[in-house]
Amino acid sequence: MPEQLMWEPDVSRGEWLRPMESEPFASILSVVPRGFEAYARIFHTVERDRPRATGTWHGVEEESLFAGVTDIDAALETRRSTWAEVAAAFGTTMHSEAQFARLVGLGEWDRSGVVAPDGWRYETPPEGTCDPDSFNAAARVLARHTTTPSAGVAAVWEGWGGLMSSAGFATYTAEMPDPTTDDRGLRSAVRAAGTRLRATLRRALTRVRWATTDRIALFHRDPEPGTGLLSREIASGPTFALHGGTGRTYVLFQAGADDFTDPAWGDRAPWVRPGWSPQTPSMVWPDDHAWFLATEIDWDSTLVAGSAGLVRELVETPGLEVLAIDPDARLTSDGDTINPAPETETA
């Protein structure tokens, strides 16, 4: 079995990224470096579901749908969807600067699923992590566009719960009511809540994010480094910080694009909890700096900077939803100027 990816204590390997700190924070060029020939945006996959019995959520109450249901997976049809399919379902316009909330008519802070005219319920795409299939497909392309496919750096945000210490991570168990109980409402409510939790787990959003600069004190004292997934040596070692004061601090690992072409790469990643959907790195770059990939912790898409040939191949790769993007474009919540904001936002 291949060995685990090695920790990289030499944080000077990230110093070439310092010019990004002079760019406006949360701009594209503060997330990927200036100076590359082309830029691309990889859109994170969307989960959607609908009742198998009706084929639509319209006219269906979730509580009544799951009353008496013991196999939720059998009751719900689930699929993955592209942003372009989402836009088609809601009658909006897909483009390189699209914001998911604008595509589906959600308010900026509304994170719940929304039902489209086609009867499917669409969940918001995951933030801060690329779905494993898309990441794996992108890695295969990236490996062909560097002279050092087996050598590079993967930077993982230290703020993922349970990574550096046990802070920010918890396990939850839910016990179903006695199946003989007459409280039908209680049974159906728990089942409905379980369905939403299943969807959340599928998107790997149960990881609790916390920022060291602004977090709720859940403990009287912070747990010791090394009580989380990473060893004490790694958790207590040097970290690489970008955009000082924003909590963007990363642990570096030795990893080339080739390491991520294996669908089972998560088994070798020290930052991935066994049995969980793998948390993709926040940043990846090869030793020759031929390209740069970044998934900003608060964004629902991944950016790639590289050659025109690389971007063209990413756009044309089956199974990836990618559009070329201008590095001066805006990916803020109001950056989508083509699709209108919900009335509650403009009022």
Give whole-number Cα distances, 152 to 107, 148, 238, in Å: 39, 7, 18
Average pLDDT across each block of 10 residues of the chain; the chain has 347 residues. List them in order: 89 98 96 98 97 95 83 90 98 97 81 88 96 96 98 97 73 47 46 45 39 39 79 96 96 98 96 94 98 97 98 97 97 92 63
Q: What is the pLDDT of residue 221?
A: 52
pLDDT at residue 225 in the model: 78
- Here the tokens at position 209 are 């994010």
> What does the alpha-carbon distance between residue 104 and residue 97 come to, in Å, rounded to a whole number?
14
* β-pair type (249-254, 283-286): unpaired
Tokens of residue 272, six digits: 């991935």
Cα(203)–Cα(47) distance, integer angstroms: 8
Residue type, position 294, single letter: A
Q: For the full predicted model, state whether its pTM sits above 0.75.
A: yes
Q: What is the pLDDT at residue 210?
A: 37
Q: How far is CA 30 from each of CA 20, 105, 318, rounded to the nearest angstrom?
A: 5, 28, 29
- Position of tokens 């639509």? 56
Residues in CB range of 223: below 8 A, 6 or more apart: 165, 166, 167
pLDDT of residue 109: 60
DSSP states along 9-40: --GGGGGGGGGGGGSPTTSGGGTS-TT-SEEE
Between CA 53 and CA 274 the distance in angstroms is 35
Question: DSSP secondary-structure letter at 103?
Answer: H
pLDDT at 237: 97
Token code pair at residue 110: 């509304």
How far is 226 from 162, CA to CA, in rounded Å? 10
Residues linked to residue 51 through DSSP beta bridges, in sequence order: 76
Taking the C-alpha atoms of residue 95 and residue 141, their distance in angstroms, rounded to an integer, is 22
- Give the pair of three-digit tokens for residue 267: 């088994």
Q: Which amino acid does the sequence have at 17?
A: L
